[in-house]
Structure 1
Amino acid sequence: MKYIKTKQWQIKESEVTSKTLFNKRRDFIKLGAASLVSSGAIFELLAKDKIPLANLQYKKDKNENNLTLNSYEQITSHNNFYEFTTNQSKVKDMAHTLDISNWKIKVDGLVEKPMVIDFETIMKKFPLEERIYRFRCVEGWAMVVPWIGFELSKLIKYLKPLSSAKYIKFETLYDEKMFPDQARGILSTISYPYVEALRMDEAMNELTILAVGLYGSSMPKQNGAPIRLIVPWKYGFKSIKSISKISFVDKQPLNSWQKENKNEYGFYANVNPYVDHPRWSQSKERVLGKFFKQRTLMFNGYEKQVASLYKGMDLTKDF
């Protein structure tokens, strides 16, 4: 008898949402590529659910438990991306100004060879895989997303940071023509460029990925195209979007929201139902598409995989 071992980070069917959409995607796969091309009915179904045709090659999450997901529409219509607007429902309508052609990422700091690496090189070098993860916002809402990307650790090994590097720092692109809030100067919502960072052991954890797509297709602009960070056990603001710079440093960086309000936002931002944000309770969360709230899980449900990273720390203080 063959036993299938499910990875610890895979989540139970009872903890995710919108089963109808997942079943439709499974039916599409059963029909095969030839049927997909020839059947107008399939295109109609895709259009109805506003799911773009897949354009990425990746290793699928086997989803042995027949997990369900939030809909593509929910994931791409409820976004925090302050560079465009603070209105979550309007980001997708404004994100067309983001030009992701010829995207490059500058790499500097404590690294063997500082460089500029283009997005196309990254896409050719690192095989992609699907990761179905919980996503939890500090504002109290949540969703489940089928991200497509690769482990950050693979890029780190390729970049060869020095042993003195203790943190990895990320920056979102700074371009006032593309991002209207950046152009507002001192009247902007926050200071730019947006900065986030991880401790090196957090960055090397197998759960930490760089995502380049979702639902089989390239990352939508409102979700952080062309490449963003995903750290599933932390609040969403840690998962920085539209990355244009990576720096390896030896001192803990000051992240954007720490800079804006150090009393409300900390460096670690681990999901913790026992520590409330001054403006939002963290004990429960509202999954997009659901009316009733559900209990928030420690480390967003990834406690077994990441709790050891914080052994000896006071998680009520080291927020």
Structure 2
Amino acid sequence: MAFLHVPPTWRLSENAVTAESVFLNRRRFLKTMIGGGLAMATLPLAGCQTAQAPIAEELTGTKALRAIANPAFQDAGRPVTGEVLAATYNNFYEFGSSKNIWQAAQVLPTDPWTLEVTGLVNNPKTYNLDDLLTRFPLEERIYRFRCVEAWAMVVPWLGFPMNALLRDVDPKSSAKFVRFTSYFDPAVTKGPSFPPARFLPFPYTEGLRIEEMANDLAFFAVGIYGHTLPKQHGAPIRMVIPWKYGFKGAKSLVKIEFLDTQPATYWNTLSPNEYKFEANVEPDVPHPRWSQAKERLIGPGNQYSWEEVPTLLYNGYGEFVADLYA
């Protein structure tokens, strides 16, 4: 089935590309601040962090990226979360269950990297690391990010819409669902301390209906804050589905499969009454153990505020996705 896609009015041309010098200057500024003491100032943000080594590279990635600043997604209605805070407050269960896993995640091997796209497609592909960074025009999109744990951030992602990959691989008409699989090697991704990883449904998998993947809002991120993804954010490529809870955004993808039946997913397998396959942000649908009517904001900047605000239906993106669930 060929995906014929009419570009929306906000799709930009190359003359809107943000200058590389802007991203490079922003990265140099962050490194200077860290060298001048910001790293020490932010140690309490990550609990029991220790000042063992310079953390600039782990926070800022290793390569600046050029990207189109998409005007439809440059104002999230809230301040952008500071880069240091976003880089040191993460969920990545392959490396542990605490929020302070950014150091543990640095063992993730990301070069070389391949992403296999297979299943019910007419053009199966295997993308290497360079393909992921250059094959599709990159955009910067500032999205709200909502965790099922009722905290939220605002993050400037760099990447490309998922429908660009759909057009490249050309799904067959029998493809109804898509499974996304994260990197897993028991020697590297040891999982939480309890229960042992061998009792958990690793590798981490997530799934979407193909109509959800084709939505203009669905995004593959290969960068953040103007540079490639640090490992704790899911380098080198991760899912970003901003109208769903954050656990739907599988990190460090190694495989995408097009299927005719709904796939099993990590959290839905562990606790299906708590973590639904669909997992849309819905303030009127509580988690079995807490309300989802409000959320706590991480930030602004690199300070915790924990300001509590009302949760928005579909995380505020109803104009893009409500028709998927009519």
Range class of TM-score, shorter chain: 0.7 to 0.9
- Give me the whole-angstrom Cα distance separating, in 1, the residues matched to 2:29 and 2:87: 24
- Give me the whole-angstrom Cα distance separating, in 1, the residues matched to 2:95 and 2:76: 38
Query: Any gaps of 5 or more consecutive residues in structure 2?
Result: 1-8, 11-17, 39-55, 299-303
2:150 to 140, 143, 151: 140
Check conservation: 1:81, 1:222, Cα contact below 8 A.
yes
Say whether 1:204 aligns with 2:219: no
Q: TM-score when scaled to structure 1?
A: 0.80
Query: What residue is the counterpart of 2:104 in the other structure?
Result: 94
Check conservation: 2:75, 2:142, Cα contact below 8 A.
no
2:79 to 65, 68, 85: 68
Deviation at 1:247, TM superposition (A): 0.2
Q: In structure 1, the residue corresponding to 2:180 is in which secondary structure?
A: strand
Query: What residue is the counterpart of 1:162 in the other structure?
Result: 172
Query: Any gaps of 5 or more consecutive residues in structure 1?
Result: 1-5, 8-28, 312-319
- Written as runs of structure 1 = structure 2, the 5 A alignment for 1:273-312 is 273-288=283-298, 289-311=304-326
Deviation at 1:123, TM superposition (A): 1.9
User: Is the alpha carbon distance of 1:227 and 1:290 closer, same or farther for their aligned partners in structure 2, counting shifts above 3 Å?
Assistant: same
Deviations 1:172-207 (CA, angstroms, capped at 9, x unpaired): 012122212289995557310111011111101111
Query: What residue is the counterpart of 1:153 in the other structure?
Result: 163
Deviation at 1:118, TM superposition (A): 1.3
Q: In structure 1, the residue corresponding to 2:105 is in which secondary structure?
A: helix
Say whether 1:84 aligns with 2:95: yes
Say whether 1:263 aligns with 2:297: no
- Give me the whole-angstrom Cα distance separating, in 1, the residues matched to 2:239 and 2:152: 17
Check conservation: 2:183, 2:254, Cα contact below 8 A.
yes
| Backbone CA RMSD of aligned residues | 3.0
Check conservation: 2:78, 2:154, Cα contact below 8 A.
no
* Identity within the alignment, %: 40
Deviations 1:227-247 (CA, angstroms, capped at 9, x unpaired): 000000000000110000000
Deviation at 1:111, TM superposition (A): 1.2
Deviations 1:286-316 (CA, angstroms, capped at 9, x unpaired): 01122331000000000111111001xxxxx
Instruction: Indicate the larger mover: 133-142 or 49-58.
Output: 49-58
User: Is the alpha carbon distance of 1:286 and 1:251 closer, same or farther for their aligned partners in structure 2, counting shifts above 3 Å?
Assistant: same
Deviation at 1:138, TM superposition (A): 0.3
Check conservation: 2:119, 2:257, Cα contact below 8 A.
yes
- Give me the whole-angstrom Cα distance separating, in 2, the residues matched to 1:64 and 1:234: 19
One-letter amino acid of the structure 2 residue matched with residue 198 of structure 1? L
- Give me the whole-angstrom Cα distance separating, in 2, the residues matched to 1:93 and 1:131: 26
Check conservation: 1:173, 1:193, Cα contact below 8 A.
yes
One-letter amino acid of the structure 2 residue matched with residue 106 of structure 1? E
Deviation at 1:117, TM superposition (A): 2.1
Q: In structure 2, the residue corresponding to 1:83 is in which secondary structure?
A: helix
Deviation at 1:256, TM superposition (A): 1.0
Deviation at 1:67, TM superposition (A): 6.5
1:59 to 62, 68, 87: 68
- Written as runs of structure 1 = structure 2, the 5 A alignment for 1:231-246 is 231-246=241-256
Q: TM-score when scaled to structure 2?
A: 0.79
User: Is the alpha carbon distance of 1:100 and 1:296 closer, same or farther for their aligned partners in structure 2, counting shifts above 3 Å?
Assistant: same
Check conservation: 1:264, 1:277, Cα contact below 8 A.
yes
One-letter amino acid of the structure 2 residue matched with residue 309 of structure 1? L
Say whether 1:173 aligns with 2:161: no
Instruction: Indicate the larger mover: 120-129 or 269-278.
Output: 120-129
